[in-house]
Amino acid sequence: MAIEWKGVFPAVTTKFTDNDELDLTLFEKNLQAQIEAGVAGIIIGGSLGESSTITTEELGQLVASGLKTAAGKVPVIVNIATGSTREATSIAKQIKAWGADGIMLLPPMRYKSTPEETVLFFRTVAAATDLPVLLYNNPVDYKTEITIDMFEALKDIPTIQAVKESTRDVSNVIRMRNNFGDRFKILCGVDTLTFEELSSGADGLVAGLVCAFPRETVAIYNFIKNNQHQQALEIYRWFMPLLEFDITPQLVQYIKLAEVYTGLGNETVRAPRISLKGDKRAAAIATIETALKTRPEALVEKGLALMTAEGVSV
CATH of the domain at 172: 3.20.20.70
Assigned domain for 115 exists: yes
Write down the pLDDT at residue 262: 98
pTM higher than 0.85, yes or no?
yes
Assigned domain for 216 exists: yes
Strand order in the sheet with 102-105: 7-10, 204-207, 185-188, 160-165, 133-137, 102-105, 76-80, 42-44
Write down the pLDDT at residue 312: 45
Number of structural domains (the chain) is 1
Assigned domain for 140 exists: yes
User: Which residues, given as ranges, of the chain have pLDDT below 50?
Assistant: 312-314
Assigned domain for 300 exists: yes
**Per-residue burial over 139-148, b = 16 or more CB atoms within 10 Å of its CB, e = otherwise:** beebebbbbe
| C-beta separation of 49 from 211 below 8 A | no
Q: From CA 313, how far away is CA 97, in angstroms rounded? A: 28
Write down the pLDDT at residue 308: 62
Assigned domain for 1 exists: no
Assigned domain for 313 exists: no
Give 63-104 pLDDT, tens digit per residue.
999 999 999 999 999 999 999 999 999 999 999 999 999 999
Assigned domain for 69 exists: yes
What are the residue ranges of helices labelled H in 48-170? 56-70, 85-98, 115-127, 139-142, 148-154
Q: Which domain holds residue 226?
A: 7-306
Burial of 27 (0-12, 13-18, 19+ CB in 10 A): buried
Assigned domain for 312 exists: no
Write down the pLDDT at residue 95: 98
Could you give the angle at which helices 229-243 and 278-293 cross, rounded to 10 degrees? 160
